[in-house]
Amino acid sequence: MIEILGKTPSINVRKVLWTCVELNLPFTREDWGSGFRSTQTPEFLALNPNALVPVIKDGDFVLWESNSIIRYLAGRYGGEHLYPADPFARARVDQWMDWQATDLNRSWNYAFLALVRQSAAHQDAQEIAKSIDQWTHNMRILEARLQETGEFVAGASFSLADIPVGLSVNRWLGTPFEKPELPAVSAYMKRLGERPGAAAYANSALT
């Protein structure tokens, strides 16, 4: 049984939870991270020296970094339909997963901490506006991509990349500021919402 360490408000933890649902993989989960058990304890740091969630234990095998974890789970537990072996198809999935973890994630950071987490250290109006601009720019890139595929981010079928990207769209929708119409993104979220993993972990109760 896979053990997941991490709280559900964490988007990175929810990547792992949603992947388990897609793979029909049983798991247990413990609440770790700010607001729950501290990741700064020697016990947790021995598992992940970065003091970040998620961490998984699969028997004696311990792994951190959410995207590495979901690639591992797909690779070990029959997820070739989510993470194809063909190098071209796999590279396209990796491209969008890495884009989410770097450019997209970086762009929302300030606005999300200010407007959703209400962080006192993130209340500079100019920085909020800059973050919203960059986030919107990236969401327009996603809109163009989804108009092109008409289905999912890596192509015609659902893939591992739709998990981080879908969770990110959910975060976009759940962060309160004026947003442009992005019709292909809206249709994409409806499509994803039909999946039990998305219904559980990419919904309006969780940003």
Chosen residue from 12, 107, 134, 138 binding ligand GSH by CB under 6 A: 12
Q: Which residues of 130-148 are buried (b: 16+ CB within 10 A; e: fewer)?
A: ebbebbbebbeebbebbee
Interface stretch with ligand GSH, choices 21-29, 48-56, 147-155, 170-178 (CB under 6 A)? 48-56
**Contact between 39 and ligand GSH per CB under 6 A:** yes
Tell me if residue 29 falls in helix, strand or coil.
strand
Nearer to ligand GSH (CB atom), residue 38 or residue 157 = 38
Question: Is the peptide bond preceding residue 54 cis, with omega within 30 degrees of 0?
Answer: yes
DSSP, res 37: B
**Contact between 53 and ligand GSH per CB under 6 A:** yes
Q: How far is the CB of 6 from ligand GSH (least distance, A)?
A: 7
Using Cβ positions, the residue closest to ligand GSH within the complex turns out to be 33
Nearer to ligand GSH (CB atom), residue 71 or residue 195 = 71
Angle between helices 66-76 and 162-174 (to 10 degrees): 140
**Contact between 33 and ligand GSH per CB under 6 A:** yes
**Contact between 66 and ligand GSH per CB under 6 A:** yes
Nearer to ligand GSH (CB atom), residue 5 or residue 182 = 5
- Evaluate whether 2 touches 15 at the Cβ level (below 8 Å): no
Closest CA to 150 of 195, 198, 183: 183
Q: How far is the CB of 70 from ligand GSH (least distance, A)?
A: 10
Look at the block and give the residue holding tokens 């947003």.
Answer: 179
Residues of this chain that interact with ligand GSH (CB under 6 A) are 10-12, 33-34, 39, 52-54, 65-66
